[in-house]
Each structure stands twice: as C-alpha cells, then as structure tokens.
Amino acid sequence: MKKVSFILLSAITLLSSCSPGVAGESSFEERVNQVIEKSVGPYLDMIGNLIFFEIPIGGGLGMPFVMVWLIAGAAFFTYYMKFINFKGFGHAIDIVRGRYDDPNDPGEVSHFQALTAALSGTVGLGNIAGVAIAVSMGGPGATFWMILAGLLGMTSKFVECTLGVKYRDVHEDNSVSGGPMYYLTKGLKKKGFPLLGKICAVMFAIFCIGGSFGGGNMVQINQATEQFVNVTGGDASWFFGREWLFGLAIAVVVAFIIIGGIKSIVRVTDKIVPFMVGVYLLAAVIILVVRIQEVPAAIGSIFVGAFAPNALYGGFLGVLIQGFRRAAFSNEAGIGSASIAHSAAKTEEPISEGIVALLEPFIDTVVVCTMTALVIIVTNHADPSSSLTGVQLTSSAFESTLSWFPYVLSVAVILFGLSTMISWSYYGLKSWTFLFGESRAMDTLYKIIFCSFIIIGAALNMQKVFNFSDAMIFAMAFPNVIGLYILAPEIKSDLDEYIRKVKEGVIKKFW
C-alpha cells in the first residue's frame, strides 16, 4: 500500500510540475486538464508526423512506409513458413487447452496465461474505437483489409513469439526476461551481426517504452474516459473538463496490479480477458441475430467496398490503408510486443509457444474486430459524415438495438483498457530494465511515469493520443522485422524439427 501511494503521489507531483496554471478556468481540476493538453499535445503531433512518412502512390495518396514494411513481412513469413497460420491452428488450440503442458518446464506462466496476457495487450480499445475509425473513414470495405491483415499477421506473431522464448533469459528465481530486445541482441550476434543486433535492440526498447505510454496506456484510458463521461451525462457530466480525475482513479487500480509483476498480471488477465471478450461478442451476436436480414447486405458491402475503384471513402487505396493501419494497431503482429509476454510461458519448445501466439491476431482481428465492424455496418453507422467517432460511434451503433448497452460497454471499455494497460506496463518495464538494468529504484521510476501517463491520456483529445500511439507502436516494427527476416531460416528449421517430433510422438500429450 505504501508503494502504491508513493507511485501515485510521485505521478501527481510530476504532472503538477509540467507547466504553470492556465488563467480563466473555473476550477483546479479544469486547469489541470488544460495544462496537460497545452503542454503535451504539440509534442505528440510532432512524433506522429515523423514516424508516418509516406510513399507517394499516385492519385494524391500516400502509403505510410511502415505499413508496407509490416504487410510485406507478414506475407513473406506466411509463404516462407508454409502457411503455418492455417496448418497449425488446431495444434495451437490443443496446446492452449494444456494437452502438452509439463509443469516441470522452465518459465513463469502456462500457455493459456501467456496467451491471455498477450491478448489483453492487443484486445483493447483498438477493437472498439480503432475499428470505428477505420469503418467511418474507410467505409465497410476497410473490414476486408483488416481481416486479411489479421490472417497474414498470424505468421508474423508466430515467428516473433517463437524467437522470444528461444532467446529469453531465465533467472535463478525462475523469472524470465525475453522479447525482441533479447533475440535481436543474441540472435543477430549469432548470425554475425553483433553491432546491428545491439542497435536494433536499443531502438526497439526505446520505442516499446514509448508504445507502453501511448497505445498501451493513453489510448486505453482516453477512450475509457470518453465512454465514462458519455454515459454519465456527456457535457453535463461532473467529470466533463475534469477527465484527469477519472484517470487518477484508474491509475490507483493499475498501480496495485503492476507492483506484483507478471504473475500478478496474469492472475487478472486470465479472468478479465475471457469474460470481457465473451460479453462483448455476445452483445454483438444478439444485434446481428436481431438484424439478421441485413447481415448478407453488410457482408456484401464489405467485399464490394474493399475493391471499389471510385473516390468514395478515398477510393480503393484509401480503404486499403485504413483497414491495414487499424488492423496492425489492433493485433500488433510484427511489432514484437507480444513476444515479451509469451517469453514467460512454461515450455522447453519455443515453437509450441509460437504456435499458441498465432491465435492472437485471429481472435483479436478476424473475430473481435470483424464483429465490431459488422455491428457498425448493419446499424447504418458507417457514415464518414457522422459527428461521432471512436468509441462513441461504436457505442451508438450498439445502442441503436440495445438501449442499455452503453452502460455495459462502459464496463467493457474500462476492463479492455485496464487489461491492456497492465500488460503494456509489463512490456514497457522489461524494455526499461533492458536499457537501465534490473533494480527496484528503476522499476519504481518507470511505474511512476507510466501512472502519470494514465492521467495525461485521460485529459488529451482523441486525435493527438491516437497519432502518438500509432507512431510509437508502429516504430517498433522497424528494428523488429529486420531481426525476423535474418532469423527466419532458423525458425523454419526449428518448425520442421518440431513437426517431426510431434508426428513421431517425441513431444507427447500429458492428457
């Protein structure tokens, strides 16, 4: 309790020293909101513009190079690994069910717990707010490209999470440190590129820390706060103009959880993730059943809109860009973040955890994102002229059929956001300790800064938060995918050997 209080008091002190007060506000709470917006907002815009430099592709449109980088990598790995994203699907389910679990294997958490911890980092507000942005800006056709990106991303996730386990550090107390920082350093050194490995590892760690503050923190609390204010009265809500107070309340909860490390985190995520995904999908299914006659037309509009040559919603390329961008932000395939959580799995077979990991983009993008998009489309909310955006658009779409759903969505959004924040705090902390070393003081400093960003994210406007978050998370892909390309041959060899062992019964089921 003392440690939580210290972290939160330090976070508030850090925020209050960022900038002087703003004159003309009616209350202290509102002044804090304005200070945060004016102090931090311009820097977030600058970072976003730097990362998303575009390649001109004609017609006045440009494709962010980082998206080309991610999708090209995912397509290559899918072909190179002989479509393991489809062939390994059934085996992945068996592993998650515990049929191959050996309690004596090194690691900290089970395959299922590692999957839920990683899923809690991806299944979040990107599935609710991000999909709404993609469909409202790109039209129904953006859904097709989200699904395709999700299917291809399954193989990128397989490769990076296999490497995460293969090159992890298992400490004397059986705790684990793993992820791109380690496989970039060790793996590239093994291949004869020690300097490149160190540069890529440091770059990744810096971007991951930024991503933990952005997409893993500010996006989640920003959209959770917006939904909370909306259902408590909107402009008339007492929290309107005082959003940072809601952020402070969530920061208290997060501080309690993240102090216990990965074991504390998975005790929360392996309960929250299945529950919140189940409730959310159940509501979506109810709406689609109620409007079953409109579903075929909605599916048709997805395929037609995906390849529409006209200028509607920016034309074919505009739709493709929106779909790929939001899918990549949602499932993080190729980003490398999830491998940090999967590295903690109890296993002596790195390939087995990589196969488990390929379920992530399927659940996150192919299932959850698609269901969200279908609800938005069948309720006639896929309108680029709408004044609603993000989580408010999704809430309105659900509310049009289930009048009470905004209250349920508020709870779901808070749980989505909370689970994502606690998982990303772990990712950021592991990157932080990779750069600055393992020590209690450095751990505490990171957690103070992380909790400060929860309060900041609650007060900022959505566009600034999404721009910064996209930039930090996508930036992680540059050093990570370089490593994946170089290390892919050894993963392919390991995969062939693993398949042989399973077929010959060397790798046995325990029940």
Where does 97-179 have alpha helices with state H?
Answer: 111-122, 125, 131-138, 142-166
Give the position of tokens 């959580």.
341
Q: What SS3 class is residue 53? A: coil
Q: CA-to-CA distance for 306 and 68, rounded, in angstroms?
A: 18
Q: Is 330 exposed, middle or buried (0-12, 13-18, 19+ CB in 10 A)?
A: buried
pLDDT of residue 185: 94
What is the Cα Rg of the chain in Å?
22
pLDDT digits (tens, 9 = 90+) for 250-289: 888 888 777 766 666 666 666 777 777 787 788 888 888 8
CB atoms within 10 A of CB 113: 22
Question: Of how many residues is the chain composed?
Answer: 511
Classify strands 61-64 and 169-170 as parallel, antiparallel or unpaired.
unpaired
Per-residue confidence band for 490, with pLDDT thresholds at 50, 70 and 90: very high
Q: CA-to-CA distance for 300 and 247, rounded, in angstroms?
A: 41
Residue 109 pairs with which residues in a beta bridge?
A: 345
pLDDT digits (tens, 9 = 90+) for 237-258: 656 666 777 778 888 888 877 7
Give the pair of three-digit tokens for residue 222.
């920003």
Per-residue confidence band for 306, with pLDDT thresholds at 50, 70 and 90: confident
327 φ/ψ angles, rounded to the nearest 5 degrees: -65, -45
pLDDT of residue 13: 57
The topology (CATH level 3) of 2-504 is Amino acid/polyamine transporter I (1.20.1740)
Instruction: Using alpha carbons, list the distances in angstroms from residue 194 to 284, 483, 497.
Output: 49, 12, 27
CB atoms within 10 A of CB 193: 17
Q: CA-to-CA distance for 145 and 366, rounded, in angstroms?
A: 10
Per-residue confidence band for 160, with pLDDT thresholds at 50, 70 and 90: very high
For residue 323, give the amino acid letter. Answer: G
Q: Is 62 left (phi over 0), alpha (psi -120 to 50) or beta?
A: beta
Instruction: Using alpha carbons, list the distances in angstroms from residue 421 to 120, 226, 496.
Output: 8, 16, 36
Q: Is 505 left (phi over 0), alpha (psi -120 to 50) or beta?
A: left
Which range is least confidently modeled, 158-167, 259-268, 297-306, 334-343? 259-268
Q: What is the 8-class DSSP label of residue 343? A: T
CA-closest candidate to residue 400, choices 297, 280, 292, 290: 290
pLDDT digits (tens, 9 = 90+) for 49-80: 666 777 776 666 667 777 788 888 999 999 99
pTM (2 decimals)?
0.79
Instruction: Using alpha carbons, list the distances in angstroms from residue 139 to 215, 298, 316, 320, 414.
Output: 23, 11, 10, 10, 27
Considering only residues 12 and 109, tell me which one the structure prediction assigns the higher pLDDT: 109
Q: In the 3-class helix/strand/coil scheme, how is 21-39 assigned residue by residue?
A: CCCCCCCHHHHHHHHHHHH
For residue 18, give the amino acid letter. Answer: C
Q: CA-to-CA distance for 429 and 207, rounded, in angstroms?
A: 12
Q: What dihedral do alpha carbons 459, 462, 466, 469 form, nearest 10°? A: 10
Q: What is the 8-class DSSP label of residue 232? A: T
What residue spans define the domains of the chain? 2-504
Q: What is the 8-class DSSP label of residue 382? A: -
Give the pair of three-digit tokens for residue 376.
């938005």
